Chain A
Amino acid sequence: MLENLKRLSSYFAVRLALVLTTVVIAVYLIIVIANMGGYMDKIRENEIRDQVYSSILANPELKRLPEGELRKILEQQIEIRKREVGLDKPFFQRSLNYLMRGITLNFGRADVLQSDTGSSQVRLILLERLPHTLLLWGIADILIFFSSVFFALALSRRYGSIGDRLVVALAPTSTPPPWFYGILLILVFASLLRVLPYGGFVDAPTPKTFIGFALSVIKHMILPVLSVFVSSIFASIYSWRTFFLVYSSEDYVELAKAKGLSPRAVERRYILRPTLPPIITSFALMLISLWMGGIITETVFSWPGLGRLLYQAIQQTDTPVIVGANVIYGYLLALTVLLLDFLYALLDPRVRLGAGKGA
Chain B
Amino acid sequence: MNTLMRLKELRRYPSALVSLVIIGLLVLMSIYAVVRYPYSEAVRLWRAGEVVWLENPKNAAPKWINWFGAGQPETIKIQSEQSKKTVENLSGGITKTTIVMPFDFLYNNFPSELAVFFSPNFVSKPPQVVMSWRTPDGREIPLVTRIAKTEERYLLSGDPAVQKKLGRVPEEGLFARPDAPQSVLKGRYELILEIYNFEPNSSLAAKFVVYGKVHGWAGTDHLRRDLSIGLLWGAPIAIIFGFAAAIGISLAQFIISGIGAWFGGWVDIFVDRLTELRMILPLLPILIMVGMLWSRSIWVVLSVLLMFGLLGGTKTYRAMFLQAREAPYIDAARAYGASNFRIIFRYLLPRLIPVLIPGFVLAIPSYVFLEASLAVLGIGDPILPTWGKIIFDAYDRGALYTGYYYWLLEPAALLMLTGLGFSMLGFTLDRIFNPRLRTL
Question: Is there any pair of Cβ atoms, one from A and one from B, under 8 angstroms apart in the complex?
Answer: yes
- Chain A contacts to B: CB under 8 angstroms: 18-19, 22-23, 25-26, 29-30, 33-34, 36-37, 39, 159, 168-169, 171-177, 179-180, 183-184, 186-187, 190-191, 198, 238, 242, 245-246, 249, 281, 284-285, 288-289, 291-293, 295-296, 299-300, 310-311, 314-315, 317, 319, 322-323, 325-326, 329-330, 332-334, 337, 357-359
CA distance in complex: A198, B289 (Å): 28
CA distance in complex: A318, B276 (Å): 29
Interface string of B356-373 (1 = CB under 8 A from A): 000000000110010001
Of B52-60, B140-148, B173-181, B414-422, which stretch is located at the interface?
B414-422
- Known contacts A180-B412, A180-B416, A315-B378; 16 further A-B pairs (Cβ under 8 A): A19-B280, A36-B290, A169-B15, A172-B420, A172-B427, A177-B369, A180-B415, A186-B400, A190-B400, A246-B440, A288-B279, A293-B373, A314-B379, A322-B289, A323-B289, A337-B279
**Shortest beta-carbon distance, B371 to chain A, in Å?**
12
Q: Does B383 contact A (CB under 8 A)?
A: no
Partner of A292, one of B273, B284, B420, B423: B284
A191–B280 touching, CB < 8 Å: no
Offer 26 A-B interface pairs, CB within 8 angstroms, sorted by A.
Answer: A19-B276, A19-B280, A22-B280, A34-B289, A172-B427, A175-B365, A175-B369, A175-B423, A176-B415, A176-B416, A180-B416, A186-B400, A191-B400, A246-B439, A281-B315, A292-B282, A292-B284, A292-B285, A296-B377, A322-B292, A329-B282, A330-B281, A332-B282, A334-B280, A337-B280, A357-B268
Q: Which residues from A are CB-within-8-Å of B214?
A: none
**Shortest beta-carbon distance, A7 to chain B, in Å?**
21
A245–B440 touching, CB < 8 Å: yes
Given A37-B294, A168-B427, A175-B420, A295 contacting B285 (CB threshold 8 A): yes
**Shortest beta-carbon distance, A313 to chain B, in Å?**
9
**Shortest beta-carbon distance, A310 to chain B, in Å?**
6
Given A242-B437, A288-B279, A314-B292, A295 contacting B369 (CB threshold 8 A): no
CA distance in complex: A66, B401 (Å): 55
Q: Which residues from A are CB-within-8-Å of B272?
A: 358
Q: Which residues from B are CB-within-8-Å of A315?
A: 378
Q: Does B408 contact A (CB under 8 A)?
A: yes
Chain B residue nearest to A242 (CB atoms) is B437
Q: Does B376 contact A (CB under 8 A)?
A: yes
Q: Which residues from B are CB-within-8-Å of A332?
A: 282
Q: Which residues from A are CB-within-8-Å of B268?
A: 357-358
Partner of B277, one of A26, A159, A180: A26
Q: Which residues from A are CB-within-8-Å of B366?
A: 175, 289
CA distance in complex: A37, B295 (Å): 10
Q: Which residues from B are CB-within-8-Å of A29?
A: 281
Given A26-B277, A183-B395, A330-B281, A33 contacting B378 (CB threshold 8 A): no
Q: Assign chain B's interface to a size class.
A: 35 or more
Q: By CB atoms of chain A within 10 A, which of B281, B288, B365, B440 has the most? A: B281
Q: Does B318 contact A (CB under 8 A)?
A: yes
CA distance in complex: A359, B289 (Å): 33
Chain A residue nearest to B376 (CB atoms) is A296
Chain B residue nearest to A291 (CB atoms) is B282
Given A171-B427, A175-B423, A333 contacting B318 (CB threshold 8 A): no
Q: Which residues from B are CB-within-8-Å of A173?
A: 420
Q: Which residues from A are CB-within-8-Å of B369?
A: 175-177, 180
CA distance in complex: A299, B192 (Å): 52
Given A18-B276, A191-B401, A315-B378, A36 contacting B412 (CB threshold 8 A): no
Q: Which residues from B are CB-within-8-Å of A284?
A: 279
A317–B292 touching, CB < 8 Å: yes
Partner of B289, one of A33, A291, A300, A358: A33
